[in-house]
């Protein structure tokens, strides 16, 4: 007999943070559903070409609800799973840092799309903090430039039209291949290559559970599909696992 616990990989999307007051993008009340034009703010080509898009982006960053958001029951449930002795790896599409804020071990959280708390220059790659850049915006610079070379600054996040970091994506694939249990939580599974991690995991022998209110393109691979509210579903799933 053995008490070895299975390795669990969790792919999280915007839906896990909506109960923390951060709206998702494609849901019924999503940012882009309510205002499709806002998708331009997340497209690299538009951002680089149009100063007005950059000005609107800085205002959106300044007012992002993630600055004041607190982890919810779903984030905390994953912390409990880790503390119960399970090998947990979180692959997140989110940029809000709530997994780390909840108490998940930072090195076990892989941020596919970067995070909103850093800024980098697209020309010289100089990095600084988002807080510093926002302070410049609040002081009257609507489109703050790099203080090293004068280049365009952008958040340390992956925008549409920008490739994911190859090393980060490779790490995510390795986690998916090693997992025995793979949970996709609060993600529409429509953005590649992140969504295909579900298939990578299943082909490597993992059991896939999808926790999402709406159907996804990967439902046919799932052993379980949970449409319940994430803040209720994930704690229950963790309780069931830790009770074994």
Report the pLDDT value the prediction gives residue 42, as an integer from 0 to 100: 81
Please write the tens of the pLDDT for every residue from 193-213.
Answer: 999 999 999 999 999 999 999
Report the pLDDT value the prediction gives residue 185, as an integer from 0 to 100: 98
pLDDT band at 36 (very low <50, low <70, confident <90, very high): low
Report the pLDDT value the prediction gives residue 179, as an integer from 0 to 100: 98
Q: How far apart, in whole angstroms, are the C-alpha atoms of residue 77 and residue 87? A: 14
Terminus-to-terminus CA distance in the chain, angstroms?
Answer: 14
Q: 68-82: buried (b, 16+ CB within 10 Å) or exposed (e) per residue? A: ebebbbbbbbbbbbb
Please write the tens of the pLDDT for every residue from 80-115.
Answer: 999 999 999 999 999 999 999 999 999 999 999 999
pLDDT band at 1 (very low <50, low <70, confident <90, very high): very low
Mean pLDDT of 47-66: 93
- CATH architecture label of 7-242: 3-Layer(aba) Sandwich (3.40)
Report the pLDDT value the prediction gives residue 217, as an integer from 0 to 100: 97
Query: Which of 30-34, 152-156, 158-162 has the weakest average pLDDT?
Result: 30-34
DSSP code for 160: B
- 3-state DSSP assignment of residue 25: coil
Q: Annotated active-site positions, please? A: 113
Enumerate the domain spans of the chain.
7-242
Average pLDDT of the chain to the nearest whole number: 92
- Whether 27 shows a pLDDT value over 60: the answer reads no
Q: Judge if pTM exceeds 0.85.
A: yes
Q: Two tokens at 98?
A: 């709530």
């Amino acid at each position: 007999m053995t008490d070895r616990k299975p390795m669990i990989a969790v792919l999280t999307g915007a839906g896990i943070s909506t109960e923390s007051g951060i709206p998702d993008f494609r849901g019924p009340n999503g940012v882009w559903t309510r205002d499709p034009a806002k998708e331009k703010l997340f497209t690299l080509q538009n951002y680089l070409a149009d100063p007005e898009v950059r000005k609107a982006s800085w205002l959106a960053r300044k007012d992002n609800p993630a600055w004041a958001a607190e982890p919810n029951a779903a984030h905390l449930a994953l912390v409990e799973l880790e503390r119960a002795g399970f090998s947990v790896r979180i692959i997140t599409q989110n940029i809000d840092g709530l997994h780390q804020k909840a108490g998940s071990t930072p090195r076990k959280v892989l941020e596919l799309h970067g995070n909103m708390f850093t800024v980098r220059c697209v020309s010289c790659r100089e990095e600084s903090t988002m807080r510093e850049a926002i302070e410049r915006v609040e002081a009257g610079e609507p489109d703050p430039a790099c203080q090293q070379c004068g280049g365009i600054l952008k958040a340390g996040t992956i925008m549409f039209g920008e490739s994911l970091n190859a090393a980060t994506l490779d790490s995510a694939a390795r986690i998916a291949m090693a997992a025995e249990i793979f949970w996709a939580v609060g993600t529409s599974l429509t953005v590649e290559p992140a969504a295909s991690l579900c298939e990578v995991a299943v082909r490597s022998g993992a059991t896939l559970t999808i926790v999402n209110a709406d159907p996804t393109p990967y439902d046919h691979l799932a052993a379980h599909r949970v449409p319940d509210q994430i803040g209720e579903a994930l704690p229950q799933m963790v309780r069931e696992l830790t009770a074994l």
